[in-house]
């Protein structure tokens, strides 16, 4: 693990004994298009525990954002959930923290049903990738937040405005009484990002989904936003699903890590385990590509050979095998490895390891060396 990146949190032992707030089980969501079928999410499983941060990492096009859209039932018209189950421990009927919880199967609800529309925003909130696109240019940012509060809380418009001002102040926006009447195009990128976080937090959600919230802002503002999210998460004990392609951000923010490739989970486990003892060749390759303060100057960083497969032409077997240096002909290209446990809380989808021995599988075959056709 590069010395410049050190995870700041570790999952507590008690989290393993708790019931998850959100459970995703073998979720599959496909796009049905004229050109063919895209298996954007192909059997994803993970848990989100109360007060914990789950980081989902992978290259662009690996299905991270589609997974979150499937959880919220906001997929595009051409997409459909094929199978799997998403279960939320909900307080749908009451915002009282002492009220009894109800298990709600989100995938069993109609996307336009009253129940899931109530859950969106109040119990599960989303910070989208593009804050500029999230706000209408003809309404003030305050109008957006006040509308959200009025939709989910039984308050007057004046009370909703005061709540919006308070939440603006909590996310570090100066002069909130004036800024609440600003339009999104009048705000800087950092202020827009804080405003979209304020809208997501306005109804005190139990789960926050942050979809690459630091992508379109400068490095200094990124650090401020990450510090803000961590501070708010600790104060409110909100669970977070943090989607990013930046492993440095994952090391700083996450308690658990889910590594995705071509719609599948390649590896998942505690953040310190993934960074110190990654098992899957894809995870190892991602970690090698991180710059370090100890890197030799002017030396190119290692890259992953080849490119991600076209969505209409997925490889048979393990989806990563055309780019894997440990590819075993007749094994990796013949069948898809299962996501199996190799240690407590650590799961890997790779034929190199067995769930019993945590050692290389004795297949009787040797790894095929890298070539142009098999990088």
Q: For residue 295, is pLDDT > 80?
A: no
Determine the pLDDT at residue 275. Answer: 93
For the residues 331-335, what does the mean pLDDT come to? 88
Determine the pLDDT at residue 375. Answer: 41
Both tokens of residue 112? 């336009």
Banded pLDDT at 302 (limits 50, 70, 90): confident
Q: For residue 363, is pLDDT > 70?
A: no
Q: Compute the mean pLDDT over every residue in the chain, rounded to the nearest whole number.
A: 83
Domain limits, the chain: 18-264
For the residues 338-363, what does the mean pLDDT come to? 72
Q: For residue 294, is pLDDT > 90?
A: no
Angle between helices 141-152 and 189-201 (to 10 degrees): 10
For the residues 312-336, what does the mean pLDDT come to? 88
Determine the pLDDT at residue 97. Answer: 55
8 Å CB contact between 161 and 153? no
CB half-sphere exposure, 196, CA atoms < 13 A: 26
pTM of the complete model:
0.84
Q: For residue 70, is pLDDT > 90?
A: yes
For the residues 352-363, what does the mean pLDDT come to? 50
Say which CATH class 18-264 falls into.
alpha beta
pLDDT tens per residue across span 180-230? 999 999 988 888 888 998 999 888 899 999 998 877 677 887 888 888 888
pLDDT tens per residue across span 224-281? 888 888 888 888 889 999 999 888 889 888 999 999 999 999 999 999 999 999 999 9
Q: For residue 67, is pLDDT > 90?
A: yes
Q: Which value, in Å, is the radius of gyration of the alpha carbons in the chain?
A: 22
- Order the strands of the 346-348 sheet from edge to edge: 124-127, 207-211, 239-244, 53-57, 256-261, 264-270, 346-348, 340-343
Q: For residue 16, is pLDDT > 60?
A: no
313 or 318, higher pLDDT: 318
Comparing CA positions, the residue from 174, 218, 169 lying closest to residue 197 is 169
Determine the pLDDT at residue 44. Answer: 95
Q: For residue 157, is pLDDT > 60?
A: yes
Determine the pLDDT at residue 15. Answer: 39
Determine the pLDDT at residue 93. Answer: 53
């Amino acid at each position: 693990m590069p010395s410049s990146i050190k995870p700041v949190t570790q999952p507590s032992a008690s989290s393993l004994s708790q019931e998850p707030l959100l459970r995703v089980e073998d979720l599959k969501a496909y796009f049905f298009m004229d050109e063919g079928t895209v298996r954007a999410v192909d059997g994803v499983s993970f848990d989100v525990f109360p007060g914990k941060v789950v980081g989902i990492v992978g290259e662009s096009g690996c299905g991270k954002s589609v997974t979150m859209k499937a959880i919220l039932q906001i997929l595009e018209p051409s997409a459909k959930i094929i199978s799997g189950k998403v279960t939320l421990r909900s307080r749908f009927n009451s915002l009282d923290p002492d009220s009894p919880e109800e298990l709600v199967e989100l995938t069993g609800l109609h996307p336009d049903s009253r129940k899931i529309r109530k859950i969106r925003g109040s119990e599960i909130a989303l910070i989208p990738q593009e804050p500029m696109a999230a706000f209408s240019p003809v309404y003030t940012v305050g109008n957006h937040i006040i509308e959200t509060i009025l939709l989910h809380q039984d308050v007057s418009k004046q009370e909703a405005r005061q709540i919006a001002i308070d939440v603006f102040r909590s996310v570090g926006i100066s002069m909130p009484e004036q800024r609440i009447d600003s339009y999104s195009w009048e705000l800087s990128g950092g202020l827009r990002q804080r405003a979209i976080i304020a809208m997501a937090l306005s109804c005190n959600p139990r789960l926050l989904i942050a979809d690459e919230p630091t992508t379109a802002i400068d490095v200094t503002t990124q650090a401020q936003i990450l510090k803000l999210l961590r501070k708010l998460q600790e104060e409110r004990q909100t669970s977070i699903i943090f989607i990013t392609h930046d492993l440095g951000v994952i090391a700083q923010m996450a308690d658990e890590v889910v590594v995705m490739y071509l719609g599948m989970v390649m590896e998942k486990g505690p953040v310190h385990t993934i960074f110190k003892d990654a098992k899957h060749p894809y995870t190892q390759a991602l970690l090698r590509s991180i710059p370090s303060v100890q890197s030799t100057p002017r030396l190119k960083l290692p890259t992953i050979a080849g490119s991600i497969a076209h969505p209409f032409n997925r490889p048979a077997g393990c989806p990563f095998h055309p780019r894997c240096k440990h590819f075993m002909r007749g094994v990796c290209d013949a069948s898809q490895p299962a996501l199996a446990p190799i240690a407590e809380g650590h799961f890997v989808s790779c034929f190199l390891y067995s769930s019993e021995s945590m050692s290389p599988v004795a297949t009787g075959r040797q790894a095929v060396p890298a070539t142009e056709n098999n990088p």
